[in-house]
Amino acid sequence: MRQWRQDGPFEMTIDSDLEAVLLVQDAIALQLKSCHFEDREIFGIRLALEEALVNAIKHGNREDRGKKVRIELCVRHDRVEIGVADEGPGFEPEKVADPLAEENLERPSGRGLLLIRHYMSEVTYHPPGNRLTMSMVRVHGNGNGK
Partner 1 sequence: MSSQPKRRRLEVEDIGDVTVVNFTDKKILDEQNIQVIGEQLFSLVDELGRRKILLNFRNVEYLSSAALGKFITLNKKVGGSGGKLVLCNIDPQIFEVFQITKLDKLFKIEKDEQSGLQSF
Q: Which is nearer to partner 1, 54 or 137 (CB)?
A: 54
Q: Which is nearer to partner 1, 17 or 87 (CB)?
A: 17
In sequence order, which residues have a C-beta less than 8 Å from that of residue 79 and are 6 or more positions away? 121, 135, 136, 137, 138
Q: How far apart are CA 49 and CA 63, in angstroms?
A: 17
Q: Which of residues 106-135 bind partner 1 (CB under 8 A)?
A: 106-112, 114-115, 118
Q: How far apart are CA 30 and CA 38, in angstroms?
A: 12
Task: Tell the smallest beta-carbon distance from residue 86 to partner 1 (Å).
Answer: 15
Q: How far apart are CA 66 and CA 68, in angstroms?
A: 7
Q: Which of residues 72-101 bind partner 1 (CB under 8 A)?
A: 99-100
In sequence order, which residues have a C-beta less than 8 Å from that of residue 109 and are 6 or more positions away? none
Count interface residues toward partner 1 (CB under 8 A).
28
Contacting residue, 9, 11, 40, 135, with partner 1 by CB under 8 A: 40
List interacting residues with partner 1 (CB under 8 A): 17-22, 25, 40, 43, 46-47, 50-51, 54, 58, 99-100, 105-112, 114-115, 118
